[in-house]
Amino acid sequence: MERVEQLYELYKKLILRYFLRLTGNMEEAGELTQETFYQACLSIHRFHQKSSAKTWLYAIARNVYLKNFRKKSKDKWLPFDEYPWPDTKFRAGDPGEQILIQEAREKIAQALLKLPENARTVLILKEYEQLSYEEIAEICGQTINWARVNFFRAKKQLHQIYQELEGDEQA
């Protein structure tokens, strides 16, 4: 049990951030994070360090997310500037530019939610969590080539959805 507590302290913010980007909802992200570490407690005896603890936890997190997947309500969406990590806070500068950046980030978050689960997961793990293709392949139970191809396709899909959101806004 002590080992899971150590893993929790090391990785709770990463797992919470992963779920927050997947769901756009802080409450749901917190619940899924707790469930992930509960499942880790139940299966710690099966962890034989064939992969890193981080990769193992992301795989559990993905399974927890898939098991609990449900339609998201837009009125529960947490604006990007309220996310609990510093990389989304604005730096001093032109207020007009800050508003444009915030709007673009929110559009990206909305576009991410419209992606199929596999595409969203691969993009989040690669772009936001900075995992390697090897780690993503292991988390998803796929090949490295699958991770690369799906990342490329997901970026293309995200761009298309983002453009559609831009078009809807200008219409």
DSSP code, position 131? -
For the chain, which domains are there?
Answer: 1-70 (1.10.1740.10), 93-171 (1.10.10.10)
DSSP symbol at 171 = -
pTM above 0.85, yes or no: no
More confident residue, 35 or 93: 35
What's at 85, amino acid-wise?
W
Left if phi > 0, otherwise alpha if psi is -120 to 50, otherwise beta: which for 49?
left
CB 61, CB 19: distance < 8 Å: yes
- Nearest-Å Rg of the Cα atoms of the chain is 17
Instruction: Look at residue 73 in the predicted model and tell me its pLDDT.
Output: 39
Question: pLDDT tens across 2-36, in order?
Answer: 677 888 999 999 999 999 988 888 999 999 999 99
Residue with tokens 């570490």: 37
Q: Which of 143, 121, 126, 129 is nearest to 66 (CA)?
A: 121
Residue 17 and residue 83: Cα distance in Å, rounded? 9
